[in-house]
């Protein structure tokens, strides 16, 4: 069941979230509340390192020009461009569905990835608190979680995430593709600016939550030269691990990205597109499993070497650019009482610890 709100909440009016650059943008959101039928998505892609993901929202007002999730909005009858940024579907019963699933006798504790599609800490989370309520369910059932976010709102939940880390395991990666606030704001206009994200890393680390930095995506000619600075600032803030992926542009995403790039950085646009072609064998994207998130050729190899060199220098555990799903261990797959089963602890290694 869908219900379009005639008077949706202003995501910037909450005291729990602040806009980073002057006055907040004029809000022109369409918020659609949905009674979802299920909340966990099971991944079957061989180059995605988690089995289950949870997305309380569809669409994302962070409005990142490169977002790979944009085509998913077309399944709802919306566009992959401004519709994705401004027509947000809210799964109001997310926590209840997760509680029901975890109470099922068939559920085996495995890490759940928050943000497999859109950011769980986008601005509307300040009003709806769906991500927090789902994390509370995970804590009650001692189920490990992994989170990838750009949102500074995750700081609100450091107490909850710290408790989850003790009870079952929690890992957070803060996505920081850019070191420069102005460049970041141009490409990710609704997201927290980079300088705020380093503060988020520090807040998580100081609370005892294992945290890493994701340079995602690497955009040649735009942020590849900033990789050492991003890693150094993240390590100084308390990050313990890092990973990176190369920009991948689906057919529906390419025009959104190119239009934003040319409008905001006209003198750099062609350089960026040429650089991407160098790393993609003359293409701007590659849909093949195992190739979607990595590049090829000498320029990509140089980026890899720089990334791993600085990770070693800074003591950061470097994640593989193309992680694979580990084999299930032999032994029982069930959870006994409140103890996390072997499957859950094994797959927790995907977020950096075993």
Three-state SS string across 244-287, please?
Answer: EEECCCCCCCHHHHHHHHHHHCCCCHHHHHHHHHHHCCCCCCCC
- State residue 217's pLDDT score: 94
Does residue 69 carry a pLDDT above 70?
yes
DSSP type of residue 5: -
Cα–Cα dist 147/142, whole Å: 16
Instruction: Report the C-alpha gap between 122 and 188 in whole angstroms.
Output: 12
Region 202-229: what's the mean pLDDT?
A: 96
Confidence at residue 338, expressed as pLDDT on a 0 to 100 scale: 31
pLDDT, tens digit, 9 for 90 and up, residues 130-158: 999 999 999 999 999 999 999 999 999 99
pLDDT on residue 267: 93
CA dihedral 293, 244, 56, 350 (to 10 degrees): 90
Q: Which residue has the higher pLDDT, 167 or 288?
A: 167
* Start-to-end CA span in the chain (Å): 41
Task: Let me know the angle formed at the C-alpha of 75 by 71 and 77, rounded to the nearest 5 degrees.
Answer: 105
Separation between Cα atoms, residue 318 and residue 310, nearest integer Å: 9
Encode pLDDT of 7-64 as tens digits.
556 665 555 555 555 555 565 788 999 999 999 988 766 555 667 899 999 999 999 9
Q: What integer pLDDT is reported at residue 18 of this predicted model?
A: 56
Q: Stretch 111-132: mean pLDDT, rounded?
A: 92
110 pLDDT tier (thresholds 50, 70, 90): confident
Residue 195 DSSP label: H
CA distance 144 to 232: 28
The alpha carbon of 263 is separated from its chain's Cα centroid by a whole number of angstroms, namely 25
pLDDT top residue among 231 and 74: 231
Q: For the chain, give the mean pLDDT.
A: 83
pTM of the complete model: 0.84
The stretch 343-353 carries a mean pLDDT of: 38
What's the Cα-to-Cα distance from 240 to each of 16, 202, 211, 312, rounded to whole Å?
27, 11, 6, 11
If DSSP states are collapsed to H, E and C, what string results for 103-127?
Answer: HCCCCCCCCEEECCCCCCCCCCHHH
Task: Report which of residues 114 and 68 the model is more confident about.
Answer: 114
Top-ranked range on mean pLDDT: pick from 235-244, 291-300, 333-342 = 235-244
> Closest Cα partner for 349 from 321, 332, 328, 333?
328
CA–CA separation, 155 vs 131, rounded Å? 12
> Residue 283 has which token pair?
């293409």
Cβ partners under 8 Å of residue 305, min gap 6 = none
User: Smallest Cα–Cα separation from 10: which of 34, 28, 36, 37?
Assistant: 28
pLDDT at 291 over 70: no
Q: Which of 103-112, 281-290, 340-349 is least confident? A: 340-349
Q: How big is the chain by its Cα radius of gyration, in Å?
A: 19
- For residues 352 and 72, the model is more confident at 72
2-351: CATH topology: pyruvate-formate lyase- activating enzyme (3.80.30)
* Residue 299 clears pLDDT 80, i.e. is over it: yes
pLDDT above 70 covers what percent of the chain?
77
Residue 210 pLDDT: 96
More confident residue, 211 or 332: 211
What is the DSSP annotation of 17-85?
Answer: ---SSSSPPPP--EEEEE--S--EEE---TTSS-SEEE-SEES-TT--TT-TTGGGGGGGT--SSHHHH
Averaged pLDDT for residues 285-290: 58
pLDDT confidence bin for 333, thresholds 50/70/90? very low
Query: Comparing 183-187, 322-326, 333-337, which segment has the lowest mean pLDDT?
Result: 333-337
The reported pLDDT for the residue numbered 327 is 31
What does the pLDDT read at residue 46?
Answer: 55
């Amino acid at each position: 069941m869908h219900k379009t709100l005639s008077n949706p909440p202003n995501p910037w009016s909450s005291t729990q979230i602040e806009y980073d650059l002057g006055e907040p943008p004029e809000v022109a959101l369409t918020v659609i509340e949905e009674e979802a039928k299920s909340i966990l998505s099971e991944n079957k892609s061989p180059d995605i390192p988690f089995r289950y993901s949870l997305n309380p929202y569809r669409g994302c007002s962070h409005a990142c020009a490169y977002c790979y999730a944009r085509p998913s909005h077309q399944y709802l009858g919306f566009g992959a461009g401004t519709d994705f940024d401004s027509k947000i579907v809210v799964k109001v019963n997310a926590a209840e569905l997760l509680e029901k699933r975890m109470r099922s006798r068939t559920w085996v504790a495995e890490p759940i990835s928050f943000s497999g599609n859109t950011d769980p800490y986008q601005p509307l989370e300040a009003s709806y608190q769906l991500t927090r309520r789902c994390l509370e369910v995970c804590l009650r059932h001692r189920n490990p979680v992994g989170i990838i976010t750009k949102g500074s709102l995750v700081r609100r939940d450091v107490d909850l995430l710290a408790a989850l880390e003790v009870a079952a395991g929690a890992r957070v990666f803060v996505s920081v593709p850019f070191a420069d606030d102005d460049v970041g704001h141009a490409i990710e206009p609704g997201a927290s600016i980079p300088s705020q994200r380093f503060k988020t890393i520090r807040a998580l680390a100081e609370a005892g939550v294992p945290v890493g930095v994701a340079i995602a995506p690497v955009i040649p000619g735009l942020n590849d030269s900033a990789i050492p600075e991003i890693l150094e600032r993240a390590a100084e803030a308390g990050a313990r691990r890092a990973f990176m992926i190369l920009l991948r542009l689906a057919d529906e995403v390419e025009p959104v990205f190119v239009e934003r790039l040319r409008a905001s950085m006209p003198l750099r646009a062609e350089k960026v597109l040429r650089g991407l072609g160098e790393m993609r064998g003359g293409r701007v994207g590659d849909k093949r499993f195992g190739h979607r998130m990595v590049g090829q050729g000498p320029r990509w190899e140089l980026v890899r070497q720089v990334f791993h060199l600085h990770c070693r220098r800074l003591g950061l555990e470097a994640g593989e650019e193309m992680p694979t799903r580990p084999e299930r261990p032999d032994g029982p797959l069930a959870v006994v009482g409140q103890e996390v089963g072997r499957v859950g602890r094994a797959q927790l290694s995907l977020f950096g610890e075993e």
